[in-house]
Structure 1
Amino acid sequence: MEKDLVYKKVGDWEGRLDLYIPQGKAKKTLVMYIHGGGWIHGKKEAEYDKFSVFLKNGFNVANIEYRLADVAPAPAAI
């Protein structure tokens, strides 16, 4: 796992992702997981149980954080 890789900078905010690559027979497919929360709450660290099934089946996973509405009102989070 590589944690908190910066994929985007906007002002003082840094968009981060965690990259999971299973040991052994990893597939070439990358699952991009974006946590729920309707743009108003949530964080990538709270979602492992939702994408762990992909890791158990050999998929690579990028677990991505995004700017919430209190930091960047719509449509800035996109």
Structure 2
Amino acid sequence: MKKGGEKNMPSLDRFSQGFADPQEARVVGECLCCGGEVYEGEEVWETDEGYLHDEHNCIRGYIANFATEKVAG
């Protein structure tokens, strides 16, 4: 039995390093909507033309180029 009566507890060593430093992340592209850099490991939407940020209303702005917003009915 391990210390403190905790048996079969998973190791949390993988969390001891923390997240990668964003200043060291490699730029892998540019957002089609805002023109901002897209970094390796960042969550994005990918289209045939390129990447879109998952934040900053980039997806909405991109769709606005192809569709008209209105109230259905």
Larger radius of gyration: 2
Q: Shared fold (TM-score greater than 0.5)? A: no
Q: Which is richer in helix?
A: 2
Q: Which is richer in strand?
A: 1
Please give the range of the TM-score, normalised by the shorter of the 2 chains.
Answer: under 0.3
User: Which structure carries more relative contact order (alpha carbon 8 Å, separation 6+)?
Assistant: 1
The TM-score with structure 2 as length reference comes to 0.24
